[in-house]
Amino acid sequence: MATDYKIKVQNVTKEYDLFKTQSEKLRAFFAINQKPVPHFWSLMGISLDIKPGETLGLIGVNGSGKSTLSNIISGIIPQTTGVVDVRGDTSIIAIGAGLRGNLSGLENIRLKALMQGLTNEEIDQLMDDIVSFADIGDFLYQPVKSYSSGMKSRLGFSIAVHVNPDILIIDEALSVGDDTFYQKCVDKISEFKAEGKTIIFVSHSLKQIEMLCDRVAWIHYGTLKEVGETAPIVKDYRAFVKWFKGLDKKQKKQFQRKMKEAQKAFDIDAYQASVVEERQKQSPDEKNVAAKVKKDFYGSVISEKMSLRSRILTWVVLLAFVMVCWVNISGHSLTEVLSDPTSLVQPTSHVDKTGSLNK
């Protein structure tokens, strides 16, 4: 069946637990954390369709959630709720995304291409093109951790555009290259556009956005503020930036604090209820709306937190493991312990060669 979208994002949220230490994280995992952990909602319900062959720009101030959204679409991180339907292979270019610091540039090319599903023969055929586009000279043989951000971006961009993805996601990767490389990238993006590929372009450069994007989504502190034709959205965003710049230092801080507080206080259940209400209003005859919305919210999501059932199961497995170890150490047989658990705390008795019972 033909589809009218290449990527569908519906009611997508992303929650982060703001743990202070690793042990706090571990205790929360085993549900033995007493202190409540503050939460932060990086995305608070984004719904958006991206059409096949379009270039969609993502704009917004620092920390608004652009990278979170593009990472969810490219499958790097899971969403907390919502549907993300991506119809094709994605390749993401962010500064250093997916590059392994301890491997050389050459090894990274092979690894990333293999991960994109290419065979070794296909990689061998592409290798010269990738190397020549990246143009990083002998650094190719050095570990990527020694690269500058510009070099990482060159390598990442070159790999991503040569593995021939259906969907290209470019997250700020053009902001760190020099002019020559920038032009090469723009030409490559235009080539992709002409081939009818779908592109998501994240950038703070409104000039680049205006030059490359058919439509723009303005992400504003975790919400989708506006989406539509490039010119009017960029105009509105410029007006917001001008307004913000006009505030004094204290007003700016206050505004940012207010927005971040709202992201901490976001109530996912209230949001879900509002989606149910909206859907009921739109289609009053539809049955089981609440159940359907619940399925849309959580049906395609692998929870990062353990459910009560999983927690109980984990504890049972752990206790069983400790018990088996204890039985082993104690010298009693398992059947003996199962029939009389108190024998675990009693000394082992055994029959010696003469047939007498020793304790």
Ligand X SMILES: Nc1ncnc2c1ncn2[C@@H]1O[C@H](COP(=O)(O)OP(=O)(O)OP(=O)(O)O)[C@@H](O)[C@H]1O
Residues that bind ligand X (CB under 6 A): 16, 40, 42, 60, 62-68
Which residue spans within the chain are E strands per DSSP? Answer: 7-17, 39-50, 55-59, 81-86, 90-94, 167-171, 198-202, 215-220, 223-229, 350-351, 357-358
Question: Cβ 231 to ligand X, closest distance in Å?
Answer: 22
Q: Considering the complex, state which of residue 99 and residue 327 has its C-beta at the smaller distance from ligand X.
A: 99
Q: Which two tokens stand for residue 295?
A: 């399925």
Shortest CB 63 distance to ligand X, Å? 4
CB of 241 to ligand X, least distance (A): 13
CB 87 to ligand X: min, Å = 23
- Name the residue nearer to ligand X (CB basis): 66 or 197: 66
DSSP string, 160-223: HHHS--SEEEEESGGGSS-HHHHHHHHHHHHHHHHTT-EEEEE-S-HHHHHHH-SEEEEEETTE
Residue placing its CB nearer to ligand X in the complex, 139 or 221: 221
Q: In the complex with ligand X, which residue's Cβ is closer, 259 or 276?
A: 259
Spatial separation of the C-alpha atoms in residues 257 and 263, rounded to whole Å: 10
CB of 44 or CB of 168, closer to ligand X: 44
Nearest distance in Å: CB 212, ligand X = 17
**Residue listed under structure tokens 């206790």:** 319
Beta carbon of residue 93, minimum distance to ligand X (angstroms, whole number): 14
For the chain, the distance separating the N- and C-terminal CA atoms, rounded to the nearest angstrom, is 77
Which is nearer to ligand X, 16 or 255 (by Cβ)?
16
Q: Is 166 exposed, middle or buried (0-12, 13-18, 19+ CB in 10 A)?
A: middle
Apex 52 CA angle, 292 and 64, nearest 5: 70
- The alpha carbon dihedral of 315, 316, 319, 321 has a sign of negative
Quote the distance between the C-alpha of residue 53 and its chain's center.
23
Smallest separation (angstroms) from ligand X to the CB of 177: 17
